[in-house]
Structure 1
Amino acid sequence: MNAVAIGPFVFASEQFAALLGIFAFTIVTTILARRVDPIIGHVALHWQSFMGEPLRAFAFWQGGFQPVAGLVGVLVVSAFFIRSLKAGLAAAAAFGLSLVIWVGVTQLTSATLGQPAPTVTLHQMDGPPIAVSDVAGKPAVINLWASWCPPCRREMPLLAEVAASRDDVVFLFINQGEGADTIRSYLAKENLKIDRVLLDPSMQIPRHYGSMGLPITLFLRADGTLASMHMGE
């Protein structure tokens, strides 16, 4: 499982763990650096991708936390506000508690790394069926998406561009639950030319990996085992 569902809301394990850690930190001391500075670090490292839509930098629910930047932020704000040893010890205890919660929840809710690719054969939009487990031999990127999903639609042009420029990595774009006509209409409307678009009407792939929500991007090693998983854009 790589996500936590609370009612209609789905949080990636990284975001959920971070939010719980932040909540614990607020019990004793300020949350400003803990909540904002990790995202500032992520934005600083990937500033080019935020230039077109700068407001996305504030979308903390999409993840992108940089632990080092967060730690620096905590130290800076703590040094500014903490004026006594007692307050310093309380802040250190709060930070330690939030760190334990963050790491613990992340480990409990993260997908099992090293999991083999599913032995599932899916129909391809413009080509023969593909067995997902047969992509072994090269590293693979599997994107789980749907045309009704706004984050999926936003990231699709960039993913399509990267897929077209890389012949050392296999890209599979596995649609979740939609029919061929709907998919074809969406691709034509957006003028997207993508190879290896697969149909997963019964959503077998997310069940195999225990994932929830869309989009999900899976990174597989050359032997077909799961290297990492990312939820969201």
Structure 2
Amino acid sequence: MNAIELGPLVLSGERFAIIVGVAVFLLGAGVLASRVSPRFNGWSTVAVLAGLGAARLAHVVAHWSYFADDPLRALAVWQGGFIWAWALAPAAIAAVVMLRERRLVAWAAAPVIAAALAGIATERLTTGAEPVAAPAMTLARLEGGAVNLAAVDGRPTVINLWATWCPPCRREMPALAQAQDAHPDVRFLFVNQGEGPEKVAGWLEQAGLGIDNVLLDRAMAVPRHYGTVGLPVTLFLGPDGRLAEVHVGEIAPEQIGAAIARLRRNS
């Protein structure tokens, strides 16, 4: 399982784990506010906001080469990308400053630990990929000809499931196009879902994207094979054609690079 469906909303396992962790933290802090001291109300709000900001900032700094040309992308928190160890410092500083008493500061560790355990457990239960083999199906190639998804050539493969009507798909496509150019040793397949060649070609031309291996999955058979939900979805396959990793939702450039590096290490 790599996504959680909440009505029309589809969340990746990572994003759902963040929500669970924050909810557990706020619930725990609320219990302390009602039973120990009302100071925990203000502290929990500051800790969440400052912790999220610090964790995001740490990710941006660690991957600055991907943000240098577009620093404002640091605000695109919906893409994911946090280093959670850095959230501890602002939470601890806020506890010392706002709770003031040593006894209350000690109590503050309880919701932090509970949130960390809940988030880690949720992520482990909702992420991970079964090593499913690529489907034995042939899809028409927008540029002409056809591609057999099950055919392996010794390279890792990145399969992006997308559609022109999907805003996150459109936003992430330039990053995927750049990755295709930067990694000739990786096979990229852009598998459009349910649309005709005229619509797909028209949008690519309008967007000014010259990408190779745009495939037409009119029957939307690929997501059924892998059991994925929602769009966009990016699948990372090893050189043997077996699924190694799934990213649900809009993917950031640094996430593409990190996933490809993991494929290379494990191949």
Query: What's the TM-score once normalised by structure 1's chain length?
Result: 0.88
Q: Which has the higher contact order (CA 8 A, sep 6+)?
A: 1
Residue equivalent to 2:122: 105
Gapped runs of 5+ residues in structure 1? none
Distance of aligned partners of 1:157 and 1:32 in 2 relative to their CA distance in 1, 3 Å threshold: closer
For residues 82 and 60 of structure 1, the distance between their equivalents in structure 2, rounded to whole angstroms, comes to 29
Q: Tell which deviates more after alignment, 42-51 or 159-168.
A: 42-51
1:41–1:70 contact (8 Å) kept in structure 2: no
SS at the partner of 2:190?
A: strand
For residues 93 and 217 of structure 2, the distance between their equivalents in structure 1, rounded to whole angstroms, comes to 48
When the two chains are superposed, the root-mean-square deviation of aligned CA atoms in Å is: 2.3
Please give the residue correspondences for 1:171-186 in structure 2 after superposition, counting only pairs within 5 Å: 171-186=188-203
Alignment partner of 1:159 out of 172, 176, 184: 176
SS at the partner of 1:143?
A: strand
Gapped runs of 5+ residues in structure 2? 30-39, 252-267
Distance of aligned partners of 1:221 and 1:60 in 2 relative to their CA distance in 1, 3 Å threshold: same
Shift of the alpha carbon at 1:140? 1.2
Q: Deviations over 1:41-83 (max 9, x none)?
A: 2222334544666554334333112222233443343344343
For residues 72 and 145 of structure 1, the distance between their equivalents in structure 2, rounded to whole angstroms, comes to 39
1:70 aligns with 2:87: yes
SS at the partner of 2:145?
A: strand
SS at the partner of 1:217?
A: strand
1:116–1:224 contact (8 Å) kept in structure 2: yes
1:170 aligns with 2:194: no
2:153–2:239 contact (8 Å) kept in structure 1: yes
1:3 aligns with 2:3: yes
**Rg larger in 1 or in 2?**
2
Residue equivalent to 1:43: 60
2:129–2:244 contact (8 Å) kept in structure 1: no
For residues 120 and 201 of structure 2, the distance between their equivalents in structure 1, rounded to whole angstroms, comes to 42
1:16 aligns with 2:28: no
Shift of the alpha carbon at 1:93? 1.5
Count the aligned residue pairs: 233
Please give the residue correspondences for 1:16-165 in structure 2 after superposition, counting only pairs within 5 Å: 16-27=16-27, 28=29, 29=40, 30=44, 31-47=48-64, 49-50=66-67, 54-135=71-152, 137-165=154-182
For residues 223 and 178 of structure 1, the distance between their equivalents in structure 2, rounded to whole angstroms, comes to 29
Shift of the alpha carbon at 1:15? 0.7
Shift of the alpha carbon at 1:87? 2.1
Bigger helix fraction: 2
SS at the partner of 1:133?
A: coil
Query: What's the TM-score once normalised by structure 2's chain length?
Result: 0.77
